[in-house]
Chain A
Amino acid sequence: MPLGSAVVPLILTAMLASCAPSKSGAPMLGAPETFDWSGVELEFAPPHSGWRREGQLSGGLRGVRFIREHGTGEVIEVAESIAAADRDRGRLLDDVIRDIETLDDRALRRAIDQARWRTDSPLTDAEASAAPRVNAALDEAVAALARDDRSGVRWAVERARNECDLPELTLEEAVALARVRAEQFRIARYEESASRTLTSAGEPAHLVDFTLAVDGRVLRCRQLVVVHGRRIFVMSLQGREEDLPLFDAVTASLRFPDSAPAVTP
């Protein structure tokens, strides 16, 4: 075959290759990305192309939303429960301890105040018990700061930090907080078809399949709730039946970099 006849198709093939689905027919995913929304990293591979992204900060969730371009409202969300993340004060207190000697009085006072634990609507009994003790220790830290006693501040903040080491959330606690419910939808009709527990990214998880009927259209939906330590991550699809393989591929790519790698025999 003449060289030129071979080169032209080669260029066209290369140009088209990036747009084509994979040979196996599996959904195309982009390169894995590591997100850190509030101190705990998670990694997953997002949809490859044809889905635009935007930040999500609603419904008690903080994360990213992928919306099908030129679609009819198909959405894949990967997000973290704000309620669970904001009740994990250990990271904030670690930062305060690290910066005690360098922050000026006003900045240190602000950092201590920001590390206080919310005491309304605790997620667990352990948290209900720990939160007042943490805040009492932080009150002592503020008093020590007023006396210009940085050693006293350190002692009190370290005591508060020790109180933050609570047991991990159970799947039941996470599901109670984050699972999709019929009453969330005022206009659309919610119909659940299946739910089950499973393991995702080596962590306990709960999956719900449901449909939403609105304006004569039925949306195929799936929600996956994953517990990681004291954090809750939620991945959800609202779309069409043919979007399920892509959503499942995104969820299968989920990984927590701070977890020990799985040991295989």
Chain B
Amino acid sequence: MTARASVILASAMLVAALAACSRPPGAVPAQPRDLQVGRFGVRMLVPDDVRVVALGARCELHTGDGPVVIEDLGPFLAEAYRVELEAARALWRDGQGPDALAALADLSPAAIPAGDHVEHREFLAAWNGLLAALAERPPGSPEAAFTDVSRRLDQLPEPTTDELVERATAALFSDDERREIASRGAMEVAGLPAVSVDSWYRLSHDNASRVIVLPLRGRVLVFHGSFPGLRTTDSLVVGGVVAAIEHVEYQGARP
């Protein structure tokens, strides 16, 4: 083999190796697609061989490596609760009391952070008072109860991003005490600030999982996937899905 042929062969091997690392085998062209995930609109490039299963607040992307889930975890901050509260108030004023009650009953205000246990207890009492008023137990106008909850929302402390991420991951892993956080770091999703959280099984440091937490307007959108047997999520499909996202927007409470 001549020196020139050797150089060409070596270069070809290098290019082939790099190509194999940078693009999954059999990748097919991706098409932009608009997904509705809870209160969020997500525009992303979805390859034709990825199956999308929309389940309301949860959207599953079935890839060859396992499903990646995009999920609206719901309101986490007072700002998002206020939006839901005002939407429910509008429904009630429009004569749709049962719908207003149903909309608020779906929320979990017990997890909302308060300054201390007394403030937390009083907030929950006001919230439950509003639900009782909407259910007409006792009969009466819920208007004052709406105003009371709204006022208390204004007084709740604003958690830090770390606290928010901690609550979001706790909500995801609430049924899996075996899991612990391995690392986390700041990143961007479609130009929006987000936090990437890698976790694994506490005992063995395997079964890696990556969660990307995107707080937006007091709600939390997460992207997550689990990979049994693996100890690292580097370069795995969650990152690929997030990289394919072109735009995320909060679309407000439904009328």
Q: Which residues of A contact B (CB under 8 A)?
A: 2-5, 7-8, 11, 33, 35-37, 52-57, 62-65, 101-105, 108, 150
A4 to B9, CA, bound (A): 8
Separation of A8 and B6 alpha carbons in the complex (Å): 8
> CA of A108 to CA of B114 in the docked complex: distance in angstroms?
15
Of B63-71, B85-93, B202-210, the stretch lying at the interface with chain A is B202-210
Judge whether A8 and B116 touch: CB under 8 Å. Answer: no
Interface contact tally, CB-CB below 8 A: 71
Question: In the complex the two chains form, is A55's CB within 8 Å of B204's CB?
Answer: yes
Please tell me if the beta carbons of A4 and B4 are within 8 angstroms of each other in the complex: yes
Find out whether the CB atom of A57 lies under 8 angstroms from the CB atom of B203.
Answer: yes
- A104 touching B3 in the complex, CB below 8 Å, given contacts A54-B206, A63-B203: no
A149 to B13, CA, bound (A): 73
How many of B's residues come within 8 Å of A, CB to CB? 27
Task: Give the contacting residue for B120; candidates A2, A64, A65, A104; CB below 8 A.
Answer: A104
Per-residue A-contact encoding for B167-206, CB less than 8 Å = 1, 0 else = 0000000000010100000000000000000000111111
A55 / chain B contacts, CB cutoff of 8 Å: 178, 201-204
Interface residues of B (CB under 8 A from A): 1, 3-10, 13-14, 17, 114, 116-117, 120-121, 178, 180, 201-206, 229, 231
The answer to whether B10 touches A7, judged by C-beta atoms less than 8 angstroms apart, is yes
Complex Cα–Cα for A131 and B121 (A): 33
Task: Name the B residues within 8 Å of A102 (CB-CB).
Answer: 114, 116-117, 120
Interface contact A64-B10, CB-CB below 8 Å: no
Which residues of A are found within 8 Å of B229, using beta-carbon distances?
52
Q: A55-B178, A101-B116, A150-B117 are in contact. Are A4 and B204 (CB under 8 A)?
A: no
Q: How far is the CA of A226 from the CA of B42 in the complex (A)?
A: 53
A3 / chain B contacts, CB cutoff of 8 Å:
3, 6-7
